[in-house]
């Protein structure tokens, strides 16, 4: 686990424009997990911090001659910051990077606040928009509710309709797996929203806080029917990032998600006060575990790149636990998402809490892909 790791420049910058949310989803890692640092942060990123974020990303792009950087505007709920803050942030970053660096901007929202003002900003600044939803009305509203208990699905549907009407900025849906929802019903309900892509996320959990239903392969058993439905469709109806990444790696390609694969995380999270955090997912492990103590107001992104907590997020074979290193599917699984390997000893030197699920899902996809290739030969 202690193999030295190469410092790599960041490619992805997750920028928290607002630290609060208008929803109060009961599983939310920001507000309902062990790390409560959001309470001490400014609600909205200030103009001073926006300027510092832009300058630091520009400096980093210049130092490392980055051809492309990926910016994810995040929260809380980033739309609570308002359209002007979003515009300022995007202009600040694009205005600071060198001429040879392109800036790809996406925004992750719960979708309930999308109106024509935001749709206009997204189109003018070419901001891709991802929307979080857990399925159809019943599935979504099981957890994704306002603090007063009101459901959110109807507002999300309205937000998606506004986005689709305004142009081509919608990038897809992000859906957290909930074993209480029927998998195929969930998938069909998501498909009915016509997403260009679906991200199916395993709930943030670890060995200290295991997921609901942990102990068997309930998550693989939930995902496999969706894979079979998706893979067997006579024509491609949408992309499913997890499945596509596994297939890509089985065929010698790479992963497009931190959920699987031996990827070195090249992302840094910037909080509303400018503090730099290794990754948001660590908020589900122990209070303050993702904190670096660094800030865009006092430190460069190169300082963050060298921070031990950031280096912990790199997934190379030599830093995985012995049981993963000797696992026959480690090249595909990569030990799963790093935060899922957090254990009672306070380290990440464990296989994923979803190990049995990842093993079953990857083997299933491998068998389906190989048998299809044989048929096609």
Q: How far is the CB of 254 from ligand SF4 (least distance, A)?
A: 16
Q: Are 45 and 73 in contact (CB under 8 A)?
A: no
Nearest residue (CB) to ligand SF4, 309 versus 351: 351
Nearest residue (CB) to ligand SF4, 238 versus 366: 366
Nearest residue (CB) to ligand SF4, 122 versus 243: 243
Q: How far is the CB of 356 from ligand SF4 (least distance, A)?
A: 8
Q: Are 19 and 274 in contact (CB under 8 A)?
A: no
351 touches ligand SF4 (CB under 6 A): yes
Nearest residue (CB) to ligand SF4, 76 versus 336: 336
According to DSSP, the β-strands at 127-132 and 170-176 are parallel
Show Cβ contacts of residue 62 under 8 Å, excluding neighbours closer than 6 positions: 97, 98, 101
Residues between 103 and 132 that touch ligand SF4 (CB under 6 A): none
Distance CA 201, CA 29 (A): 13
355 touches ligand SF4 (CB under 6 A): yes
349 touches ligand SF4 (CB under 6 A): no
Q: How far is the CB of 29 from ligand SF4 (least distance, A)?
A: 21
Q: Which stretch binds ligand SF4 (CB under 6 A): 195-203, 218-226, 237-245, 355-363?
A: 355-363
CA atoms within 13 A on the CB side of 218: 16
**131: its two tokens:** 């929307």
Distance CA 336, CA 289 (A): 19
352 touches ligand SF4 (CB under 6 A): yes
Distance CA 230, CA 277 (A): 36
Q: Which residues are paired to 170 by β-bridges?
A: 129
Distance CA 331, CA 111 (A): 36
Q: How far is the CB of 2 from ligand SF4 (least distance, A)?
A: 18
Distinct helix (H) and strand (E) counts, the chain: 13, 10
The alpha helices in 240-290, defined as continuous H runs, are 241-250
Q: How far is the CB of 120 from ligand SF4 (least distance, A)?
A: 44
358 touches ligand SF4 (CB under 6 A): yes
Q: How far is the CB of 344 from ligand SF4 (least distance, A)?
A: 17
Nearest residue (CB) to ligand SF4, 51 versus 201: 201
Q: What sign does the CA torsion over 185, 223, 260, 276 have? A: positive
Contact string 300-339 vs ligand SF4 (x = CB under 6 A): -----------------------xx--x-xx--x-xx---
Q: Are 34 and 282 in contact (CB under 8 A)?
A: no
Q: Are 69 and 103 in contact (CB under 8 A)?
A: yes
Distance CA 263, CA 314 (A): 7
359 touches ligand SF4 (CB under 6 A): yes
Q: How many residues bind ligand SF4 (CB under 6 A)?
A: 13
Nearest residue (CB) to ligand SF4, 275 versus 352: 352
Q: Which stretch binds ligand SF4 (CB under 6 A): 117-125, 151-159, 187-195, 351-359?
A: 351-359
Nearest residue (CB) to ligand SF4, 191 versus 330: 330
Return the CA Rg of the chain. Answer: 20
Nearest residue (CB) to ligand SF4, 274 versus 321: 321
Q: Which stretch binds ligand SF4 (CB under 6 A): 21-29, 105-113, 184-192, 348-356?
A: 348-356
Nearest residue (CB) to ligand SF4, 7 versus 367: 367
Distance CA 66, CA 121 (A): 26
Give which of 87, 140, 77 is closest to 109, Cα–Cα: 77
Please give the residue ranges that form the binding site for ligand SF4 (CB under 6 A): 323-324, 327, 329-330, 333, 335-336, 351-352, 355, 358-359
């Amino acid at each position: 686990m202690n193999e030295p790791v190469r410092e790599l420049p960041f490619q992805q910058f997750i920028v928290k424009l607002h630290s609060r949310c208008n929803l109060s989803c009961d599983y939310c890692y920001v507000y309902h997990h062990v790390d409560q640092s959001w309470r001490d942060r400014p609600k909205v990123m200030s103009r001073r911090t926006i300027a510092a974020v832009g300058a630091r990303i520009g400096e980093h792009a210049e130092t490392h001659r980055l051809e492309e950087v990926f910016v994810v505007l995040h929260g809380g709920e980033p739309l609570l910051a308002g359209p002007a803050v979003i515009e300022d942030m995007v202009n600040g970053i694009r205005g600071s990077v060198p001429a040879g660096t392109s800036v790809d901007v996406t925004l992750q929202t719960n979708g309930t606040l999308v109106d024509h003002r935001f749709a206009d900003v997204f189109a003018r600044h070419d901001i891709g928009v991802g929307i979080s939803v857990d399925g159809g009305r019943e599935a979504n509203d099981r957890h994704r509710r306002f603090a007063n208990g009101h459901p959110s699905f109807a507002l999300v549907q309205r937000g998606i309709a506004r986005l689709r009407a305004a142009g081509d900025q919608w990038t897809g849906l992000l859906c957290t797996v909930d074993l209480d929802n029927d998998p195929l019903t969930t998938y069909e309900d998501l498909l009915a929203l016509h997403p260009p892509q679906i991200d199916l996320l395993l709930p943030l959990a670890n060995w200290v806080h295991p997921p609901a239903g942990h102990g068997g392969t309930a998550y693989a058993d939930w995902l496999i029917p969706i894979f079979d439905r998706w893979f067997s469709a006579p024509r491609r109806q949408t992309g499913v990032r997890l499945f596509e990444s596994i297939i890509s790696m089985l065929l010698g390609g790479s992963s497009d998600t931190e959920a699987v694969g031996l990827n070195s995380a090249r992302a840094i999270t910037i909080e509303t006060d400018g503090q730099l955090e290794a990754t948001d997912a660590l908020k589900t492990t122990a209070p303050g575990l993702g904190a670096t103590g660094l800030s865009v107001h006092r430190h460069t992104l190169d300082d963050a790149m060298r921070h031990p907590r950031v280096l912990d997020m790199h997934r190379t074979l030599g830093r995985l636990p012995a049981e993963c290193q000797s696992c026959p599917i480690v090249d595909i699984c990569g030990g799963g998402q790093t935060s899922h390997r957090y254990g009672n000893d306070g380290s990440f030197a464990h296989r994923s809490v979803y190990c049995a699920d990842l093993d079953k899902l990857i083997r299933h996809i491998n068998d389906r892909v190989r048998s299809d290739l044989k048929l096609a030969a």
